[in-house]
Amino acid sequence: MGVIVLGACAVWSLISAATQDGRPEGVLLAVLAVAAGYASGRISGSLLPVAAPCAGALAGLGLAVALPHLDAGPQVTAPLGHAGACAALFALAAGAACCAAWATSAPALRLALRLLATGIAVTAAVMGSSAGCAIGGAVLLCSLAAGRMRPRGLGVAGLALAAALVTGTVWAVAGNILTAGLTTSLEGRLTPRRIHLWHDALHLAHREPALGVGPGRFGELSSTASQALWPDGKPHSAPLQQAAEQGLVGVLLLAMAFCWILYALWRSPRSTPVALTAGAALTGLAAIAAVGDALSFTTVSAGAGLLAGLATARPLTPDGPEGDGDTPVRDTPVR
């Protein structure tokens, strides 16, 4: 199923680009990064179910700290620069640390890994990433709550609903269908420039609802993007970018990719706490991507695939219990 969904995303970007004279390289690179990260996570998670997510958490933390210094181009400041990518890496790192904590049966190591997750959230706060701190803390709380949740499907449905609410709110803001007071409040947090970018994206989506204007062409056609001092050509919202550049089919494929990950976590042979912890971190990433530019960074796309692969891998060696309230391991393989 994952191969079909990711393959469809790649093929549709090529179709849209060929029809509208777009540039699909960014989409293809993101699809490749997710696929490579997922495959790496499945392999390393099977061989090293505790060490692999722990190493992933430390790597994500290091990348989040160093990310603003990795780009050789102009350093665009918050809120439109690297803020979304840093917050996403903090969320993924916290999720990986919590997954490693549930994967071990040693109480001391489990406590140390949860302290690592707490330290990741604190580091995000120190670096000024309020979103990374908030979502990292939320992932830690969801992970602790997941230990007492037996019906895995209910938790997965809740995560899907949360992602849908955030995306719906973004779409409502872009379409000016919220009340004036709520719109003004959100505009103060999101900045007027970001709201104008969303308006442009929705306008382009209405102009070309089927194929979109073509991958990579938003910056050429958006008046708001062209007025920036350092234009990056992005609307800073993954669903709106898909709608503008690849039409409704692109939005549907993006939603299918997220649903596939949730389905894989629901069918995962790992324990319920591991699956729901990874789901909470990936839902946090979806929320960040809905209001930011996180998925334009290859490290974030690869990290998302890596965490999903770690949480759906079947360990080759028994680790003992992975947490309280686990559901029985399924005999059916993860697709």
149-205 pLDDT tens trace: 878 999 999 999 999 999 999 999 998 888 777 877 787 788 888 898 999 999 999
CA angle 12–247–20, rounded 5-degree value = 70
Q: List Cβ neighbours of 177 (8 Å cut-off, separation of 6 or more).
A: none
Q: How do residues 303-334 score in pLDDT, each as one tens digit?
A: 999 999 999 998 886 544 454 434 434 434 44
- Domain segments of the chain as ranges: 2-12+23-68+79-312
Q: How do residues 115-131 score in pLDDT, each as one tens digit?
A: 999 999 999 999 888 89
Helices (H), the chain: 2-20, 25-47, 51-66, 83-103, 107-126, 130-146, 152-174, 180-190, 192-207, 218-221, 223-226, 238-266, 272-291, 298-312
CA-CA distance, 212 to 16, in Å (whole number)? Answer: 7
Q: How do residues 237-251 score in pLDDT, each as one tens digit?
A: 999 999 999 999 999
What pLDDT score was predicted for residue 224? 81
Average pLDDT over residues 94-117: 96
Q: What is the mean pLDDT of the chain?
A: 87
What pLDDT score was predicted for residue 68? 61
- What DSSP assignment string belongs to 154-168? HHHHHHHHHHHHHHH
Average pLDDT over residues 289-298: 89
What pLDDT score was predicted for residue 123? 94
What pLDDT score was predicted for residue 11? 96
CA-CA distance, 146 to 162, in Å (whole number)? Answer: 16
Tokens at residue 297, please? 């960074």
